C-alpha cells in the first residue's frame, strides 16, 4: 500500500515515465561543492535556475512525469501537481534511492522508465525523447556526464546490480555501471556536463549573470 505522505501524484496516463531527482532548494543544502567557491546564496540561486530549466525541458514531453524530492514533498512549487507526480526519495545512499524509485515505477505498470538529474544546463527535450526511443531496441540507455558519472538512466526492467557497490559522486561510476551491464544492450546518449563545481559554469553563457 502506498503511503500518501511519501507518494502523491497524477494518475498514470502512458506506459513511459520520466522522473527527476531533485534536492529541496534550501540555503546551505544544495550544490555545496559549488558553494565553497561562490557562496551559499549564489549556489542556491544557481540551483533554482537549473530546476527551472529542468522543468521547462520536461513539462511538455508526452510521457508521464514525476519528481522525487530529497527531504519532503512540496505541494506548491514549480512542479505543478497536474503535470508531475510527487514522491519522496527513500534509501541510505543515491544508489538505493534510485533503485527504489525504479521499483516503484515498474510496480505502477510503467514499461519504460527514465531518470534524470536536475543540474543539467544543456539538457534538451531531444535527449529524453531519444532515450525512450532507444529503449525500443536496447535494454538500457545511459546519458554520460563529463565528470565520469551519468545524467540519465533508462531501463525496461530493473537491473539492481548497477545500484550497488558504487562510489557515488566519483569519476568511476559510469565505468563501473557499464561493466555491470556488459551482458545487455546499452545505448549511450550525447555526453553532457552537470554542475558540481565552479569550473562547470565559468565558461557557460547561462551563468555569466551569477558570476559577476
CATH code, domain carrying 125: 3.90.550.10
Q: What is the predicted pLDDT for the residue at 12?
A: 85
- The alpha carbon of residue 76 and the mean position of all alpha carbons in its chain are separated, in whole angstroms, by 20
- Residue 67 sits in which domain range? 7-210
For residue 114, give every residue at least 6 positions away whose Cβ sits within 8 Å of its Cβ, in sequence order, or none: 16, 17, 18, 19, 63, 128, 131, 132, 135, 141, 152, 153, 154
Q: What is the predicted pLDDT for the residue at 142?
A: 98
Could you report how far apart the first and last alpha carbons of the chain are, in Å? 50
Q: In what order do the strands lie in the sheet with 16-22?
A: 7-8, 84-88, 64-69, 16-22, 112-116, 150-155, 140-144, 186-188
HSE-CB of 104 using CA atoms within 13 angstroms: 29
In which element (H, E) is residue 18 found?
A: strand 16-22
Residue 2 lies in a domain: no
Query: pLDDT under 50 in the chain at which residues?
Result: 1-7
Residue 203 lies in a domain: yes
Number of domains in the chain: 1
In this prediction the pTM is 0.93
Note the pLDDT tens digit of each residue in 66-125.
Answer: 999 999 999 899 999 999 999 999 999 999 999 999 999 999 999 999 999 999 999 999
Residue 1 lies in a domain: no
The sign of the CA dihedral 163, 169, 172, 174 is positive
Amino acid at each position: 500500500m502506498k503511503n500518501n505522505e511519501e507518494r502523491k501524484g497524477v494518475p498514470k496516463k502512458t506506459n513511459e515515465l520520466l522522473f527527476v531527482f531533485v534536492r529541496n532548494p534550501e540555503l546551505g543544502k544544495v550544490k555545496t561543492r559549488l558553494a565553497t567557491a561562490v557562496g551559499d546564496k549564489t549556489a542556491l540561486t544557481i540551483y533554482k535556475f537549473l530546476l527551472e530549466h529542468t522543468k521547462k525541458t520536461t513539462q511538455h514531453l508526452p510521457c508521464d512525469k514525476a519528481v522525487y524530492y530529497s527531504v519532503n514533498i512540496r505541494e506548491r512549487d514549480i512542479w505543478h501537481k497536474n503535470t508531475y507526480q510527487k514522491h519522496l526519495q527513500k534509501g541510505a545512499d543515491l544508489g538505493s534511492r534510485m533503485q527504489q524509485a525504479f521499483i516503484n515505477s515498474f510496480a505502477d505498470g510503467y514499461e519504460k522508465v527514465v531518470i534524470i538529474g536536475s543540474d543539467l544546463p544543456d539538457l534538451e527535450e531531444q535527449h529524453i525523447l531519444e532515450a525512450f526511443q532507444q529503449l525500443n531496441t536496447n535494454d538500457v540507455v545511459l546519458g554520460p556526464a563529463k565528470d565520469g558519472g551519468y545524467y540519465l538512466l533508462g531501463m525496461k526492467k530493473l537491473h539492481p546490480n548497477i545500484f550497488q557497490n558504487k562510489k557515488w559522486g566519483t569519476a568511476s561510476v559510469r565505468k563501473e555501471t557499464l561493466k555491470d551491464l556488459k551482458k545487455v544492450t546499452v545505448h549511450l546518449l550525447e555526453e553532457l556536463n552537470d554542475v558540481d563545481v565552479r569550473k562547470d559554469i565559468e565558461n557557460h553563457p547561462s551563468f555569466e549573470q551569477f558570476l559577476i
